[in-house]
Chain A
Amino acid sequence: MTLEEVVKHVNGTVLTGEVSLTREVEYGFSSDLMSDVLTLLDDNILLITGLSNNQAVRTAEMSDIHQILFVRGKMPDKGMIQMAKEHGITLIATSYSMFRTSGILYNAGLPYIY
């Protein structure tokens, strides 16, 4: 699924400026717990989270996750957006809940990891 499709499905807003949304994501993983995200070794993951602080972006950077979808209307601050831009991480936000977001994307064909 492309990021463009992700944005469309969840009525999302892209927060990291003019970025290419043609990148494909292979899996979705929903968690507010970065400890769990750090156990993933797969590539091309869309991280779906309600954790809106520096460590969400840092964890993505360390785990080679190139896209984060913030749910429940959580908005990253300017520092997080800047950090994401520096590391080529696309940030998207939606007002939908984590359950609703995950359900929509799963239904649309985005697989889970486990």
Chain B
Amino acid sequence: MTYSYDVQAKNFTRAGAVSSEFKKELKKLNLPSALIKRIIIALYEGEVNVVAHSYGGSITCTISSESVIITIQDTGPGIPDIALAMKEGFSTASDEVREMGFGAGMGMANMKKNSDSLHITSAEGKETRIDLSFLLTFEEGT
């Protein structure tokens, strides 16, 4: 099953709406709550990044019997130095983003920590694409 969502740039009122919608879908499955939390926190960090840093984009979430794959794709402006962006504490967030409680430079590292794999492609002036995967474990008795 695949779910696709659009994410608007700079719309902090809506930031988190995609993660909230997808959380509802995950809760219909018999997954451990700790796994759902890992998936949703990584997704929310990614969604906030698109709202805060990009020109807008889309998120696609695919659930299979073995995994959840999330692709976060924006339309630019790209990340010049991915290694630096992955470093805890590094941030390019605006004052507006910080007023919303974000911009501590923890988002990318937290996405990596919570996912089973993270792959990122980007360059200055280009789109950014992040692929996250999570291996599924089901509650006993299912």
What residues make up the interface of A, taking CB atoms closer than 8 Å to B?
32-36, 38-39, 41, 51, 53-56, 58-59, 61-64, 79
Contact = CB atoms under 8 A, between A and B. Distances in A.
B15 interface: yes
Contact of B102 (A34, A39, A62): A34
A36 B44 contact: no
B103 A38 contact: no
A55 B23 contact: no
A76 to B, nearest CB: 13
Interface residues of B, number: 27
Q: How would you classify the secondary structure of chain B's contact residues: helix, strand, loop or mixed?
A: helix
Contact of A34 (B13, B33, B101, B113): B101
Interface string B13-25: 1011001100100
Contacts of B74: none
Nearest to A50: B101
A58 B110 contact: no
